[in-house]
Amino acid sequence: MNKKQINIQVSSNTFMVDRMVFAEYYPEMKGDILRVYLLMCRVVGFKNTTFFMGRDEIKKEVNLTTHYVNHAIDFLEKNYFIKKVGQVGRANKYIVLNVPLYDSFTKTYILRESIPRTRYYLKDSLNGYAELPVEIFKGSILRDRILWTDRKIKTLMMLYSYHFVDVFGGVDPSAIHCIANSFFVSDFVVHQIGCHKNNLKKTIQILIRNGYAIKVPAVYRVNAYSCLSEKQYVGDLTEVTQHPGDDVVTVIRMTHIPDIKFNNALKRTQGAIKL
């Protein structure tokens, strides 16, 4: 566990990003374009898909000049990530669309505007998505390119995409979990992020050190109602009595958790999860 106590924060304000955005699917989704796109997703949240913000305000949010903001928005509009639908005062009004497909042979993007950009459709797709707390995507994360590299931002989003605190107590351990002072990281996750496994482990450790996640010993117990006798998360080791046959897996838990997922975890474990 971390040496200093870090309390879990429950977030009622979240937004979604399709897994393809941070899984090395789009070759140009990096740098300025990535940051402007994440700002747009953060602003629209879950409630609607409409974005309107003046260019000067966008420049302050992502610490870019007008030239680079315009370049990023032009790319996103041209390649079907967003669509201009009008103006609000002097600010252009955009819709954040369902992400396009990418044809690696022709190097072109394919519009998918007909598919609604909703939690239901993203969950139902094969790609999946990350539900991200708004508060951690404000400030330096979109402005400071030295502190927040593309890999660090994408790793943070990847952790959230596997973060099912109600089912696993944290990040799905089949994807990533802690082993002593290191981590198990599946080859599939490494392929998604597109870097060497050791570099990914170092990035995860940095995020933990910076307080974005913690290590939590979680108790897994055989499900008495399952014919397959698989083990399921029943609570944190500090909050439940360990039974013979239980497994303890040290999972990664994000320190800002969407309220729906956290409340589901409380119900499922009967409160056996520590804030």
**Listed residue (243, 174, 261) closest to 234, CA to CA:** 243
Does residue 2 register a pLDDT over 50?
no
Instruction: Pick the more confident residue, 139 or 141.
Output: 141
CATH architecture of 24-126: Orthogonal Bundle (1.10)
Residue 38 is predicted with a pLDDT of 97
| pLDDT above 90 coverage of the chain, percent | 76
Find the mean pLDDT for residues 204-215.
96
Q: Which helix (H) or strand (E) holds 250?
A: strand 247-254
Q: Are 137 and 42 in contact (CB under 8 A)?
A: yes
Q: Are 218 and 181 in contact (CB under 8 A)?
A: no
Does residue 20 register a pLDDT over 90?
yes
Find the mean pLDDT for residues 160-186.
94
Residue 6 is predicted with a pLDDT of 66
Does residue 54 register a pLDDT over 50?
yes
Q: Which tens digit of pLDDT belongs to each residue from 26-52?
A: 999 999 999 999 999 999 987 667 888
Does residue 4 register a pLDDT over 90?
no
**Number of alpha carbons in the 13 Å side-chain half-sphere of residue 241:** 2
Find the mean pLDDT for residues 155-162.
97
Domain definitions of the chain by residue range: 1-14+139-275, 24-126
State how far the Cα of 115 lies from the Cα of 41, in Å rounded to an integer.
17
Q: Which of 116-130, 154-168, 188-202, 222-236 has the lowest mean pLDDT?
A: 116-130
